[in-house]
Structure 1
Amino acid sequence: MRRILNLGLILIMAATVLLVAVPSKTVQAQEGGTTTTQTVTHVVQPGENLFRIALRYGVTVQAVAQANGIANPNIIYIGQSLTIPGGSTGGNTGGETGGSTGGTASQYTVVAGDTLSKIARQFNTTVQAIAQANPAITNVNLIYVGQVLTVPGGTTGGTTGGTTGGTTGGTGTTSSFELGGHVAGVDFGAVDEMREAGMKWAKVQIRYKRGDNPDVTAPAINAAHLSGFKVLLSIIGDKNELASTNFETYTDEFATFLGGVAGLGPEAIEVWNEQNLDREWPNGQINPTNYTTMLKKAHEKIKAANKNVLVISGAPAPTGAESAFGSAAVWNDDRYVRGMAQAGAANYMDCIGAHYNEGIISPTRRNGDPRDNGGYYTRYFFGMLDTYFNAFGGARPVCWTELGYLSFEGLGVTTVPGFEWAATTTVQQQSIWLGEAAQLSRSSGRVRLMIVWNVDFDGKTPDPTGGFAIIRPDGTCPACATLGQAMK
């Protein structure tokens, strides 16, 4: 059901140099604990792009570009001085951490709804200062409910959070849930609808071929950032190349490619996809231990290039077909994720990749699916969430890299072979269930990210991608309203 974007064909769109990192000097503009707003000057450092700079100062890419006469927002240079119009200068721009206000260090316990930036604002300090004071934080986008943080030099007026009844214990619980959507291409023709739905992320899927330059991913990264979205790149190799190449050689090359991609500034990378099927992994070689070896190499290269990139393990395909087709062709996903856990995969990821796209009842329900006597876990939202989260003992949160409901209504076909199970699902049900899934994910404390499968695909047969799309054939988006309400 997934369609992969071949970005090699559109490199001519953006042969740009993408630079993303942190400035070397702190900007301070705090008076009496109050953040001021003024025009400031920012010097571009290695690794920065305009999107991240604008995000840091709380302004738009367009505002920065206009203030500096930048014709192409994709191109900035190390050492370039930028005027930031009306930017908030209370935050630390990186490097030195002297920009936090005075005061003694405080202890703070993370609660549901917290992010590091929210905590920093509460204590009149900076994200970077907190991260430096807490060496366990290797990714500033990932903190956990119940985590105790040292907050340096902050005021002590903020209350220390406690645990909440809506979350489960364990270091995998997460408080920074966000929503996104899988887009059909890099033209981003549905920006308004995605914003209405409360989406902060866009997902693009890319097929890697041996010898590819990481720059083939730049158009997707740039397009997402210029549209105001964080970007998740789901990067999948070629199973035939994997089969015909020495495993160590191939996985070294693949990991090096992902490290190069990380240097271009995406917010997240999913390492492969549905690797429990011989559709994506060589027949006879499906093995979670081998995949974990690949994941370890990828994690090391990605974090070395950009430690803030969220590393998501490849989501297996939900299936119980192993007994029918044999383990050479398919592993049941529950057995596969347990194998990943036993191989130590939790050490090489920030989030557990998961797919849920075969629901025909509300995600609030734990029983009652009419298929197979309603008992198989892949039929249920909580069946999938519990299986994946518990496989790792709560050590990591879950990231839904695909979550969708199929409706043939308005598609021009009543059903497609292999998808008859969705024949009676209406668009109204799709919109309600997506909103419920976002609400349940957000309140669970166990989900970091939910990517809706999908935003704007239009396929009918043999793969009805258009039936999963939230933008329906008539151009309306009923699910945008329910998702937006869930994210308020």
Structure 2
Amino acid sequence: MYLCSKQLVKDKIMFEFKNWWRYAVGGILIITLVFALSPSERVAAQDGSQTTYVVQPGDNLYRISLRFNTTVGAIVAANGIPNPNLIYVGQVLVIPTGATPPSPPSTEPPQQPAPQPAPGGTYVVQPGDNLSRIARRFNTTLSAILAINVIPNPSLIYAGQVINLPGGSAPPPPSTDPAPSPPSPPPSGPAPSGFALGGHIQGYGQVGAMRSAGMTWVKQQIRWNRGEGTAAAANAIQAARNNGFNILLSIVGVPAQMGDFEQYTNEYAAFVGQVAALGPNAIEIWNEPNLPNEWPVGAISGTNYTILLQKAYNAIKAANPNVWVISGAPAPTGFFGGCTANGCDDLPFIQQMRAAGATNYLDCVGAHYNEGIISPTQRSGDPRNPYYTRYFYGMLDTYYNAFGGQKPVCWTELGYLSPEGYGPLPGAFAWAADTSVAEQAQWLGEAAALSRSSGRVPLMIVWNVDFTQYGDDPQGGYAIVRPDGSCPACSTLAAAVR
């Protein structure tokens, strides 16, 4: 949720959509409050001269322009849109005069024609594939594949995608050479065990409060750009050592740099391997990779993420087998209604991870829980809805069971939001308006005690210790150090870990 360097703070805003919540990042609204609208509510005439349209999930200006028989340029001009690539769900767009509104959707499911394979047949993309590799495999060319497939970005394909093959292409004959022996797995250190408590920090100004709370870990998050060295990671590790803490580093890349996926994942793995050699205690591989702002749109899947995770795990363990590898916690959400290449609910995402073999490439399953408004001891009773992300046990059971109980769960963010001492929460966070600081303290202590006694959680990172931002993204409301300098949660957390 947060990038520790000041220019890389990741805003996290929760929204309701059919009783689900989602995020906004970097101050740019990605998803906003949406209600199920009838067709007449989505398109409305005004004064007989113009039409308005409410942006729906999956829309972009090009699709909307086709729907209304107009152009992207005309819509941009009519609405003063500064960036045609950034529109958001719920946004009301003026459709230029003369555009034809879409017909109401049929109540009958459309009969889709069976896809017609290209003369050369089809191929299902496998993990690690790219178009150049597929072209070589089938004795064809990249341009020939692009000519018969609608692929906007040749550098972005995803596992499971069906690619048409040109006529005359054929796979190479099977090799008569014996199959090479699989490489030996890298050495792995001791499995995570016991229980430890830590906090996500901006700096080391609250070391006394952290120690009084029984915290022995800190978490910091860094953004890695291709070509950068390990200086930021080295500084974070040294600062943790100087203050007597173990450190979890969350290392997040840049989705826009992932065009050549194979090359990028190789470079990322090499980088985290170099960081592992510096001696951190744990590394979290990415952050919320099920969201379109954190992973390339069109390539989001637990399968693709596992390709990165596998390479990173192998590099880390080869450099320092004692470093825990924690999978990047997905954003808890039911917004997408499943899993698509443009965004994925967290449960199917981690199920895809397990199916792709992720269990072999992690020491602990990363999880986030920060939308609670009731005690973590409760398994029901949330006034919003019974969705599992509302509940401490809903999240713990879901993530633990998704991997068959073979791996523990690490809370890399767990927090409760309270506006007390700050003022009213922004509308996107109104669900926490009634949470007091006393409840925050009580629930954090209970969450730590439950995690410790579960035998399934070796690490709980409190979100957060000392953040003070309180605007559209009220991070300060999660902080255990309150505006008056007090820390009511410090005593409840300490009691849980004694």
Query: Which TM-score bucket, shorter chain as reference?
Result: 0.5 to 0.7
Matching residue within 173, 180, 188 for 1:138: 188
Q: Given the alignment of the two structures, is residue 419 of structure 1 paired with residue 429 of structure 2, yes or no? A: yes
- Cα distance in 2, alignment partners of residues 360 and 388 from structure 1: 20
- Cα distance in 2, alignment partners of residues 136 and 273 from structure 1: 24
Mapped contact 1:6–1:206 kept (Cα < 8 A): no
Structural mapping, 1:55-134, within 5 Å: none
By how many angstroms is 1:329 displaced?
3.4
Alignment root-mean-square deviation, CA? 1.8
By how many angstroms is 1:323 displaced?
3.0
Residue in 2 aligned with 1:452?
462
Mapped contact 1:6–1:207 kept (Cα < 8 A): no
Residue in 2 aligned with 1:378?
389
Residue in 2 aligned with 1:216?
232
Q: Given the alignment of the two structures, is residue 466 of structure 1 paired with residue 484 of structure 2, yes or no? A: no
By how many angstroms is 1:138 displaced?
3.0
Mapped contact 2:187–2:321 kept (Cα < 8 A): no
What secondary structure does 1:419 align onto? helix
AA in 2 matched with 1:351: C
Q: Given the alignment of the two structures, is residue 197 of structure 1 paired with residue 213 of structure 2, yes or no? A: yes
- Cα distance in 1, alignment partners of residues 188 and 250 from structure 2: 21
Give deviations 1:308-366, integer Å, cap 9, x for gaps: 00000000000010039x83432110111111111110100100000000000000000
By how many angstroms is 1:137 displaced?
8.7
- Cα distance in 2, alignment partners of residues 427 and 279 from structure 1: 32
What secondary structure does 1:354 align onto? strand
Residue in 2 aligned with 1:2?
2
* TM-score, with structure 2 as normaliser: 0.63
Q: Given the alignment of the two structures, is residue 319 of structure 1 paired with residue 330 of structure 2, yes or no? A: no
Residue in 1 aligned with 2:363?
350
AA in 2 matched with 1:346: T
Q: Given the alignment of the two structures, is residue 285 of structure 1 paired with residue 299 of structure 2, yes or no? A: yes
AA in 2 matched with 1:269: I
- Cα distance in 1, alignment partners of residues 350 and 427 from structure 2: 29
Matching residue within 393, 399, 418 for 1:407: 418
Mapped contact 1:317–1:355 kept (Cα < 8 A): yes
- Cα distance in 1, alignment partners of residues 273 and 444 from structure 2: 33
Q: Given the alignment of the two structures, is residue 361 of structure 1 paired with residue 374 of structure 2, yes or no? A: yes
- Cα distance in 2, alignment partners of residues 366 and 334 from structure 1: 18
Q: Given the alignment of the two structures, is residue 237 of structure 1 paired with residue 253 of structure 2, yes or no? A: yes
By how many angstroms is 1:6 displaced?
6.1
Consecutive unaligned residues in structure 2, runs of 5 or more: 9-184
Q: Given the alignment of the two structures, is residue 263 of structure 1 paired with residue 273 of structure 2, yes or no? A: no
Mapped contact 2:277–2:319 kept (Cα < 8 A): yes
Mapped contact 2:3–2:220 kept (Cα < 8 A): no
Matching residue within 409, 420, 423 for 1:398: 409
Q: How many residues align?
A: 322
What secondary structure does 1:264 align onto? coil
Percent of residue pairs identical: 58
- Cα distance in 1, alignment partners of residues 233 and 3 from structure 2: 16
By how many angstroms is 1:219 displaced?
1.1
Q: Given the alignment of the two structures, is residue 253 of structure 1 paired with residue 267 of structure 2, yes or no? A: yes
AA in 2 matched with 1:179: L
Matching residue within 311, 316, 321 for 1:302: 316
Mapped contact 2:283–2:323 kept (Cα < 8 A): yes
Residue in 2 aligned with 1:227?
243
- Cα distance in 2, alignment partners of residues 6 and 263 from structure 1: 26
**Could you say if the C-alpha distance between residues 224 and 353 of structure 1 is closer, same or farther in structure 2, counting changes exceeding 3 Å?**
same
Which aligned runs of 4 or more in structure 1 are off by greater than 4 angstroms?
Answer: none
Structural mapping, 1:424-443, within 5 Å: 424-443=434-453
Mapped contact 1:435–1:482 kept (Cα < 8 A): yes
* TM-score, with structure 1 as normaliser: 0.64
- Cα distance in 2, alignment partners of residues 327 and 474 from structure 1: 45
Consecutive unaligned residues in structure 1, runs of 5 or more: 9-134, 144-173
Residue in 1 aligned with 2:163?
none
Matching residue within 474, 487, 494 for 1:477: 487
Mapped contact 1:278–1:329 kept (Cα < 8 A): yes
What secondary structure does 2:367 align onto? strand
- Cα distance in 2, alignment partners of residues 246 and 183 from structure 1: 33
Structure number with bigger Rg: 2
Mapped contact 2:288–2:331 kept (Cα < 8 A): yes
- Cα distance in 2, alignment partners of residues 257 and 3 from structure 1: 17
Give deviations 1:29-77, integer Å, cap 9, x for gaps: xxxxxxxxxxxxxxxxxxxxxxxxxxxxxxxxxxxxxxxxxxxxxxxxx
What secondary structure does 1:339 align onto? helix
Q: Given the alignment of the two structures, is residue 389 of structure 1 paired with residue 405 of structure 2, yes or no? A: no
Residue in 2 aligned with 1:56?
none
Mapped contact 1:7–1:206 kept (Cα < 8 A): no
